[in-house]
Amino acid sequence: MADRKIGVLVSGRGSNLQALIDNIRAGVLPVKISVVISDNGAAYALARARAAGIAACVIERGRFADKAAFEKALSEKLEECGAELVAMAGFMRLLGTYFINRWPLRIMNIHPSLLPSFPGLNAQAQAIEYGAKISGCTVHFVDEGMDTGPIIIQKAAPVLGNDTEDALSARILEQEHLAYTEAIRLWAENRLEVSGRLVKIK
């Protein structure tokens, strides 16, 4: 199982990427990250990948005539590197029909709320503004909607009365690092079975 390969898509600092790298090194996660791809050449996640000896490259949307051409380039690079699963780790783009059809039920994303509550951007601020008492994170398979795919793992974090967005984000991030590793490990062990919206853990 340890030779199962994943590709990771990033746009920013790469905290979840680092957690995956650390858990692979610790023997907790039986996969290999074969490539890290960013749409942002300044993403710190690229430095994290290179420091870990992982192939890292930049594929910028602006270089392509349209979204489908951009996604074709992403997909071809992932396939070239032998990826079996695509893990979005702070990748700030919605993937479209072309990409999702190439990778059906083989794309995971992590979102900082308990979906279906608070999809989209600034989920932590949304939770505070709404007055939620519990938030958390969700790992889900990706479909063409925004944070609407079948849910794999959720972990909760309390929303405190004096919370700032940064404080809640940090508390949720601790759970994200646990949840993403757990979801990818279940995939690597062939323990995920999807029936419609329901993801069963075998």
What string of pLDDT tens digits covers the 202 residues of the chain?
A: 457 999 999 999 999 999 999 999 999 999 999 999 999 999 999 999 999 999 999 999 999 999 999 999 999 999 999 999 999 999 999 999 999 999 999 999 999 999 999 999 999 999 999 999 999 999 999 999 999 999 999 999 999 999 999 999 999 999 999 999 999 999 999 999 999 999 999 9
The token pair that represents 5 in the structure block:
């390969």
Q: How much is the pTM? A: 0.95
Using CA atoms, how far residue 148 sits from 39, 58, 120, 143, in Å, is 22, 27, 10, 7
**Given this chain, do its domains 1-103 and 110-202 carry the same CATH topology?**
yes
Whole-angstrom distance, CA of residue 137 vs CA of residue 117: 10
Helix (H, G, I), strand (E, B) or coil at 12: coil
Predicted confidence at residue 122, as pLDDT, reads 96
Predicted confidence at residue 199, as pLDDT, reads 98
Asked if residue 136 lies in contact with residue 124, where contact means CB atoms within 8 angstroms, the answer is: no
Domain coordinates in residue numbering, the chain: 1-103, 110-202
pLDDT digits (tens, 9 = 90+) for 36-55: 999 999 999 999 999 999 99
> What residues pair up with 33 in beta bridges, in sequence order?
6
Predicted confidence at residue 60, as pLDDT, reads 96
1-103, CATH topology level = Rossmann fold (3.40.50)
Predicted confidence at residue 119, as pLDDT, reads 96
Q: Does domain 110-202 have CATH number 3.40.50.170?
A: yes
Task: Give me the catalytic one of 48, 102, 106, 111.
Answer: 111
111 tagged catalytic: yes
Contacts of 185 (CB under 8 A, 6+ apart): 28, 29, 30, 31
Predicted confidence at residue 27, as pLDDT, reads 95
Predicted confidence at residue 3, as pLDDT, reads 75
Whole-angstrom distance, CA of residue 199 vs CA of residue 163: 32
